[in-house]
Structure 1
Amino acid sequence: MAEKKHLRSSEWFNSSDKKMNFTHRSWLRNQGYPDDYFEGKPVIGICNTWSELTPCNGHLRDFAEIVKRGILEAGGVPLEFPVMSLGETLIRPTSMLFRNLASMDTEESIRGNPLDGIVLLTGCDKTTPSTVMGACSVDLPTIVVPGGPMLSGRFRGEKIGSGSMNWMVKERQKLEGYTDADFMEAEVCVARSIGHCNTMGTASTMATMVEALGLTLPGFSSIPAVDSRKKLFAQLSGRRIVEMVKEDLKLSKILTRKAFENAIITNAAVGGSTNLIIHLTAIAGRIGVDLKLEDFDSIGSKIPLLVNLKPSGKHLMEDFFYAGGLPVVLKELKELLHSDSITVNGKGFSENYEDAVCYDTDVISTLENPLQKEAGIAVLKGNLCENGAVIKPSAASKELMQHKGKAVVFESIEDYHNRIDDPHLDIDKDSVIVLKGVGPKGYPGMAEVGNVDLPEKLILQGVKDMVRISDGRMSGTAAGTVILHVSPESTVGGTLALVQNGDLIELDVANRKLHLDVSDAEIAQRKAAWKAPEPMANRGYVKIYIDHVEQADKGADLDFLVGGSGSNVERDLH
């Protein structure tokens, strides 16, 4: 008979110190828990990112109860706890500023409590990477329950995507005469059920990522939030985490280098968000896998686009699920993926997805007949981005993938808002919009403002896209020829800080080039005259963030959080 695994929670409830056992158990008794809760059952922490201030996660309070059913059925003890919830929709200045803080909340909540396994309830985009990052730093058996996308938006006979519609407001107002009443009606139609964005935006990308990494039950990520199968999978996840504790199937056994490569390949095939780069790099840093910015290009840039979803296509997540969902994509990619990578159910990729069936080839294509031959993230290099910048070719305009134009420079997002619609602004369709001061330290938090709206006068001329460059991010729901994550950022003196109006900038995606057509001598002269801006904060977490955040090419984590520190419970501070 196999030796019974020693549970971490026993250090609280069944240790050799009777006083400590009495203290810990007696306080939990006020919840009415029976004796057998303290007799060697696995204690499972349900990390809940529910909040009424995070609309995308508003249903997770109910989902926690469903997960608890599964844990109890499998012989575990469920204990739910809250962590900081991040919704890109409401929190200012940007939820990305607090991703690392939420990861610290998750990490310390797990490490400091009598938990043997963890269920992460996630939804809006930063709640997924933040909780996974925190869990990686403790390295217990962990499973993810993604909250799921909303149903498809329907407005006056048109299928509209939550998130994607946001970037069309100015255009529809100027070109189609939309009134306040029109937009009020569209607000209800675009978000007509619980769940996160229904496009392949960052939230859906993150859900896809955790399944591709092997951290969810197979097929879980594609299911809409309102579908009863979402509840079924949540309950099964509760059952499975108890078994994972017994098997000691920790995060570090799942999150290998192969798992990260699988996630990069999958992201390319589904047309996922550029934000995956920032988050996946940070997760790799926490679990100890060496993942570099260049890996996203070398591993994923030649992968074909198989999924026809907004913003790279025309359908929405609900359609994706009906077509067969992510299992179909992973089966199609079988020969390109590491099929032996272990997942939370203890099986390898190939075994999990061999029975997947595609029901709509207009939504999910094949490798032989893809929507686009090469769709992954392209990593650019050049004197304008010594440490790299990224672009999402599947969401860009083909005619702008090789382009040279004069820079129109905005020193900050406020400067942009003040001047972009000035009819006297010297800008045309061939200009390159350059936005500074929106990187990790500069904003601070690296906001999703890189896909800035075009000038009103060009929209009225029918211009649909322009080259835009910044050290910020963009929403995964957005499209356009947008160069993002320029590193080093302008606030720390990267070359982006030195760009002036009228400078020629050359973009050549095929050759992975982003070049400022200014001599080295002139750049050096400008750099010598450059002065760093004053920090945006001098107190609290924001100061800690500014002082310690790494650049975009390293995942924008805090430098002192990189690398896991384990789940030891040797010290007792009572």
Structure 2
Amino acid sequence: MARKTLEELRSQRWFGPKDLRSFGHRSRMMQMGYALDDFMAKPVIGIINTWSDLAQCHTHFPQRVEDIKRGIWQAGAFPVELPALSLSEQYVKPTSMLYRNLLALEVEELLRSHPVDGAVLMGGCDKTTPGTIMGGISMDLPMIFMPAGPMMRGHFGGKILGSGSDVWKYYAEKEAGTISERQWNDMEAGIARSAGTCMTMGTASTMTSIAEVLGFSLPGSSSIPAGDAAHSRMAMQCGKRIVEMVWEDLKPSDIMDRRSVENALVIHNALAGSTNAMVHLVAMARRAGVPIKLTDFDDFAQKVPVICNLRPSGEWLMEDFFIAGGIRGLMKRLEHLLHLEARTVFGTIGEGLEGAEVYNDDVIRPLDKPIAASGGTAILYGNIAPHGCVIKPPAADPRLLHHTGPAIVFDSYDEMSKAVNDMDLDVTPDHVMVLRNAGPIGGPGMPEWGMLPIPKKLLKEGVRDMLRVSDARMSGTSYGACILHVSPESAIRGPLAAVRTGDLITVDVTKRSIHLHVEDEEIQARVAAWTPPPRNYPRGYYKMFAQHVLQAHEGCDFDYLEGAQGIPEPEIH
């Protein structure tokens, strides 16, 4: 492979010429205390940092920036930190998903407008992984993704706790009156004990795993816990490797193709990964010009066994997964299903698996002893979801995978939240809870409201799962018989708007179907007569979002950001 020359470096357009404008560029670098030898005649590497004081999963990023810089300096390049939008899953309201596209847009423009030759993208907390990578794909400079890593295991009363998954479980017990307020407070103090993302196979670990399998991260990096010394060393190696990638001119367009996307589909199903991956992987693939449909997820789900025994679908946590061999061990076990020749930031997928092993057959199961023979996720279609919806069968009560029951409908989250606490609510375990107006536009931003809480009345009767349908998402750490991402959403008069309390709904996961027992003509008449709640976004980002966001089955990207077409480089005057 021909290597770039110094004159071909993008940063040299700012710093190299002997003219008045470049005089200004160089003098302002010296204003910041840098010598010419620091940044001249070498690549400039941008470090996109999604740290903030309210980014709880990224509290170790100030140190990781220094680790990355160390690697960049060692490799003979110049590092520059470019802070980007921080998307804390816990604190950003109404949902961080509303701002994923804004982060992607910011990353793209940060890289386009600054004198950088390549980039290290720092992320992990749910939307920062797809957001930064989407922006990097669109800019198409050499880039490498450094995953935040999962936090330490939680604990309570001698028991291991998994973030999210055990919160939902124990909250149900609290509402049912089986645990005390003091026990609940002890859990609160013990469930998140260190820097890092959720240590279950939620959206964060699903997406960092997918980023690695797509080829954008160093081998094994997505499995390393945030507090492990290996994580600091990995960050340093990211800094070293990106410099070589700049000289090689190895860009996202050289890495991401249909083969890498199919590899991601294999691993997503083997992990029983987050349902949010449907939205994010579709968006990333479409940025790269790679065709992908929801049916692709279902095709792979039916032929790939679930072999990761990780919560919320299994028993173990990410630290156990790392010790058991991590993502490399998992891929090694599935290499007959992977495109081993697919390109990555370090070589090929196959080269990255050299020496990989599995050290615990309960955490990463043998192929003949899976958690489920197939079906990490399932895509359902029907008269209330003509463009599809998703369920995670391994995380649901099996009795609900083929079920008919009467609907109980809620038009807002507040209405639903009030109703489930009403001990006189007319509801049974056979009811199908329906929440609408919670999609990309209706939310706005498609909040994680899809794991509707079981009504308190039923919790006290011992019920722990029931069928729930919405145009919302749910946390990747959630579980239960939750049908999500109904598309098109009700706020744009999708047929979910036609459902009324008492209507029968049948779900048959085996047949991949969801059906409202109402005639088509009546559905059309109800939708025509239905008035969505007012969504008045007169200005700002909300207005732009509502005007341009695509539906769930299309990845919820903005319509003007899709595709692999480039934008002209800025003029340097």
* TM bucket normalised to smaller: over 0.9
Inter-CA distance 410–47: structure 2 relative to 1 (3 Å threshold): same
Match for 1:260: what amino acid? V
CA shift for structure 1 position 565: 4.5
Q: Aligned residue for 1:249?
A: 250
Q: Distance in 2 between matches of 1:2 and 1:218?
A: 23
Q: Aligned residue for 2:286?
A: 285
Q: Aligned residue for 1:441?
A: 441
User: After the TM superposition, which residues 190-269 of structure 1 pair with which residues of structure 2 at under 5 Å, given as runs?
Assistant: 190-269=191-270
Q: Is the 8 A contact 1:302 1:376 kept in 2?
A: no
Percentage of matched positions with identical amino acids = 47
Q: Aligned residue for 1:150?
A: 151
CA shift for structure 1 position 315: 0.7
Q: Distance in 1 between matches of 2:446 and 2:571?
A: 37
Q: Aligned residue for 1:124?
A: 125
Q: Distance in 2 between matches of 1:2 and 1:275?
A: 39
Match for 1:418: what amino acid? K
Moved more, 92-101 or 522-531: 522-531
Q: Residue deviations 1:358-395, cap 9 Å, x none? A: 11111111112212101332111110101110111121
Q: Distance in 2 between matches of 1:539 and 1:400?
A: 43
CA shift for structure 1 position 270: 1.0
Q: Aligned residue for 2:322?
A: 321
SS at match of 1:379: strand
CA shift for structure 1 position 502: 0.6
User: After the TM superposition, which residues 481-500 of structure 1 pair with which residues of structure 2 at under 5 Å, given as runs?
Assistant: 481-500=481-500
Count of residues in correspondence between the two structures? 571
1:390 matches 2:361: no
Inter-CA distance 217–487: structure 2 relative to 1 (3 Å threshold): same
Q: Aligned residue for 1:13?
A: 15
Q: Residue deviations 1:183-212, cap 9 Å, x none? A: 222122111111110100001111111111
Q: Aligned residue for 1:506?
A: 506
Match for 2:293: what amino acid? K
Q: Distance in 2 between matches of 1:198 and 1:22?
A: 49
Runs of 4+ in 1 over 6 A off after TM superposition: none
Moved more, 53-62 or 439-448: 53-62
Q: Distance in 2 between matches of 1:536 and 1:413?
A: 18
Q: Aligned residue for 2:548?
A: 548
Q: Is the 8 A contact 1:139 1:567 kept in 2?
A: no
SS at match of 2:190: helix
Q: Aligned residue for 1:415?
A: 415
Q: Is the 8 A contact 2:395 2:480 kept in 1?
A: yes
CA shift for structure 1 position 159: 0.8
Q: Distance in 2 between matches of 1:131 and 1:304?
A: 30
Q: TM-score, normalised by structure 2?
A: 0.97
CA shift for structure 1 position 141: 0.5
Q: Is the 8 A contact 2:45 2:117 kept in 1?
A: yes
Q: Distance in 1 between matches of 2:524 and 2:202?
A: 39
User: After the TM superposition, which residues 25-44 of structure 1 pair with which residues of structure 2 at under 5 Å, given as runs?
Assistant: 25-44=26-45
Q: Aligned residue for 1:480?
A: 480
SS at match of 2:47: strand
Q: Aligned residue for 1:462?
A: 462
Q: Aligned residue for 1:516?
A: 516
CA shift for structure 1 position 352: 1.1
CA shift for structure 1 position 528: 2.3
Q: Residue deviations 1:13-47, cap 9 Å, x none? A: 113x6112111111111222122234321110000
Q: Residue deviations 1:123-157, cap 9 Å, x none? A: 21111111001111100111011010011111101
Q: Aligned residue for 2:65?
A: 64
Q: Aligned residue for 2:165?
A: 164
SS at match of 2:222: coil
SS at match of 2:139: coil
Q: Aligned residue for 1:370?
A: 370
Q: Distance in 2 between matches of 1:81 and 1:545?
A: 24
Q: Aligned residue for 1:335?
A: 336
Inter-CA distance 225–452: structure 2 relative to 1 (3 Å threshold): same
SS at match of 1:221: helix
Match for 1:88: what amino acid? E
Q: Aligned residue for 1:309?
A: 310
SS at match of 2:532: coil
Q: TM-score, normalised by structure 1?
A: 0.97
Q: Is the 8 A contact 2:174 2:181 kept in 1?
A: no
Q: Please, which runs of 5 or more residues in structure 2 have no aligned partner?
A: none
Q: Aligned residue for 1:400?
A: 400
CA shift for structure 1 position 174: 2.9
CA shift for structure 1 position 169: 4.2
SS at match of 1:148: coil
Q: Is the 8 A contact 1:140 1:567 kept in 2?
A: no
Q: Is the 8 A contact 2:49 2:61 kept in 1?
A: yes
User: After the TM superposition, which residues 110-121 of structure 1 pair with which residues of structure 2 at under 5 Å, given as runs?
Assistant: 110-121=111-122
CA shift for structure 1 position 487: 0.2
Q: Aligned residue for 2:183?
A: 182
Match for 2:121: what amino acid? L
1:275 matches 2:276: yes
Q: Distance in 2 between matches of 1:508 and 1:2?
A: 55
Q: Is the 8 A contact 1:306 1:366 kept in 2?
A: yes
CA shift for structure 1 position 470: 0.2
Q: Aligned residue for 1:380?
A: 380
SS at match of 2:408: strand
Q: Is the 8 A contact 2:470 2:486 kept in 1?
A: yes
Q: Is the 8 A contact 1:442 1:536 kept in 2?
A: no
SS at match of 1:335: helix
Q: Is the 8 A contact 2:490 2:532 kept in 1?
A: no
Q: Is the 8 A contact 1:448 1:472 kept in 2?
A: yes
Q: Please, which runs of 5 or more residues in structure 1 have no aligned partner?
A: none
CA shift for structure 1 position 525: 1.7
Match for 2:407: what amino acid? A
RMSD: 1.4
Q: Is the 8 A contact 1:466 1:481 kept in 2?
A: yes
Q: Residue deviations 1:283-340, cap 9 Å, x none? A: 1121111111211111333310111110000111011111111111100110101110
Match for 1:484: what amino acid? L
